[in-house]
Amino acid sequence: MASLQLSSHFLGTNTTKHNSISISNSYSQTPFTRLFSRKKFMSCSMSMNGCEGDFKTPLGTIETRTMAAILSPTAATERLISAVSELKSQLPPLSSGVVRIQVPIDQQIEAIDWLQAQDESQPRCFFSRRSDVGRPDLLLDLASENGNGGSSNRDLVSVAGIGSAVFFRDLDPFSHDDWRSIRRFLSSSSPLIRAYGGMRFDPNGKISVEWEPFGAFYFAVPQVEFNEFGGSSMLAATLAWDDELSWTLEDAIEALEETMLQVSSVVMRLRRESLGVSVLSKNHVPTKGAYYPAVEKALAIIKQKSSSLSKVVLARNSRIITDTDIDPIAWLAQLQSEGHDAYQFCLQPPGAPAFIGNTPERLFQRNQLGVCSEALAATRPRSASTARDMEIERDLLTSPKDDLEFSIVRENIREKLNSICDKVVVKPQKTVRKLARVQHLYSQLAGKLRREDDEFDILAALHPTPAVCGLPAEEARLLIKEIESFDRGMYAGPIGFFGGEESEFAVGIRSALVEKGLGALIYAGTGIVAGSNPASEWNELDLKISQFTKSIEYEATTTTTLQTIN
């Protein structure tokens, strides 16, 4: 269980909650945060905070009602509004519950296009699974060994949501009690009722102003949700209530009806060529002049015989100011067009900036008792020349420095999975995973949990991985805290969903925080091990943020739409 103790700083064990918040003075002087601090902080007041409920008391009902299939989003929206209204006379007088009403749509519509059409003042979330075509499915192999077929929702591509039927947020680190509070609203019999959200990289660290609305963690079950499947779609509405939290069934229905009236059924397909903005300024924290000495300092500590540190990940944020506001959903759609081999996500609590990302890295996926993770480390650019690209791949596979960095990550994850699983399979031991702009060393790891209730222990064991923090984790965290002069927030934290049947989390890297009138903060990090070179690491940071900056470095035409979907 040593690996669990290493991660104890990153997830909470103390169940006593408080309302204080720690704001770092060192983060409060940037133009981004000075402007943000003048905005009135908005709490999640449109529903109930499930963390305040009694997780030991089961809900009165958790159910899903499926309507007849509809041909278009417009017809589905009308049918859903009618069904929500009918609930007033249909539901029994229970003191608590969750009900999802879903309307299948007989055409595949991209969830991100639906989200773009919705009122941007609503809390928003988006989660798109990556394509794993061509890689072994270790979870499916485990399910087959155990005599079941795995998840019934394997063809779910993307989910977009607005509003919150119930949310979960606190300023203290995510604890086992918080996990039980979320699980109280979930059931394997309603597998698409899910809580989407994320956690800070270091929940005990000081919170800067721009990250304040996210708390130490934030999850929400959307009020209105659009599911994109392979070949079809689905529009759904969810209401949750608990009289003990002073949020009655009548309150939930009224709030949902108000949200449904704002839902747009006119879905526009986005152009993904440009955002129509130009960069006015770009500043890095740290600057190149500060970053080089930071890397040298880390290398000096790694080389010390008395130090146990073998790797530390040093990050950078790049603040860009643009001539007009960046639309975070349009930006995400653009990332999605070249990121089929990555997760895309958007998380935006009420009154908060939008945290978006295009991350290639899975933290874990749970399907019943099966759990899968992966090691991803070391970076090289791609080349348009096939011959040159293969040459770069060979260099990556044979580099001693990169093999060291990758092996640290893989063996640490293997050790952590061994602490919570009966057996762990590693397949392959090492290969190259090619993305649109970069390529990494890669391996999959999977195991069988001893109990389904061990899901919280997956997070406690796996976050943070050496790929985003270092090894040992606590030594690396302390050095990061000493060296980095900005708040990572949810950058490099777990981003994903909890569900009754399955859960899945990505690592929130290759990400940006976008706020109206303030431009964006783009985050990236590199692993420092023996043999690292400051100049190469700085170039790697530029390479990693290039997917965000490529579309807004130059003057571009305004984003338009191609087609209306009725």
Instruction: Locate all alpha helices (DSSP H) within 262-317, ordered by sequence.
Output: 288-303
Closest by CA to 302, choosing from 475, 550, 87, is 475
- Are the CB atoms for 114 and 87 separated by under 8 Å? no
Annotation marks residue 303 as catalytic? no
Kindly state whether residue 328 falls inside one of the protein's structural domains: no
Kindly state whether residue 84 falls inside one of the protein's structural domains: yes
Name the residue range of residue 174's domain: 48-145+153-261
- List Cβ neighbours of 133 (8 Å cut-off, separation of 6 or more): none
Kindly state whether residue 467 falls inside one of the protein's structural domains: no
Q: What is the 3-state secondary structure (H, E, C) of 22-41?
A: CCCHHHCCCHHHHHHHCCCC
Could you list the pLDDT tens digit for every one of the 566 residues in the chain? 333 433 445 676 554 443 333 333 333 334 333 333 333 333 444 689 999 999 999 999 999 999 999 999 999 999 999 999 898 888 778 999 999 999 999 999 999 999 999 988 899 999 998 877 666 677 777 766 665 655 556 689 999 999 999 999 999 999 999 999 999 999 999 999 999 999 999 999 999 999 999 999 999 999 999 999 999 999 999 999 999 999 999 999 999 999 999 998 888 776 665 678 888 899 999 999 999 999 999 999 999 999 999 999 999 999 999 999 999 999 998 888 766 789 999 999 999 999 999 998 999 999 888 999 999 999 999 999 999 999 999 999 999 999 999 999 999 999 999 999 988 999 999 999 998 889 999 999 999 988 877 889 899 889 998 989 999 999 999 999 999 999 999 999 999 999 999 999 999 999 999 998 879 999 999 999 999 999 999 999 999 999 898 867 643 433 333 344 55
Provide the domain count of the chain: 1
Kindly state whether residue 108 falls inside one of the protein's structural domains: yes
Annotation marks residue 553 as catalytic? no
- Are the CB atoms for 447 and 435 separated by under 8 Å? no
pLDDT at 131: 77
**∠ Cα 252 69 101 (to 5°):** 15
Residue from 110, 210, 225, 311 carrying the catalytic annotation: 311
Kindly state whether residue 515 falls inside one of the protein's structural domains: no
Kindly state whether residue 190 falls inside one of the protein's structural domains: yes
- List Cβ neighbours of 485 (8 Å cut-off, separation of 6 or more): 26, 285, 286
Residue from 361, 484, 504, 537 carrying the catalytic annotation: 361
The phi, psi pair for 470, rounded to 5°, reads 140, -170
Q: Give the Cα separation of 95 and 84 in Å (integer).
A: 18
pLDDT at 273: 59
How is residue 450 written in tokens?
């001893």
- Are the CB atoms for 503 and 366 separated by under 8 Å? yes
Computed over its alpha carbons, how large is the radius of gyration of the chain? 23
The phi, psi pair for 367, rounded to 5°, reads -130, 105
Kindly state whether residue 208 falls inside one of the protein's structural domains: yes
Q: Give the Cα separation of 450 and 372 in Å (integer).
A: 14
How is residue 283 written in tokens?
């500043």
pLDDT at 503: 95
Kindly state whether residue 161 falls inside one of the protein's structural domains: yes
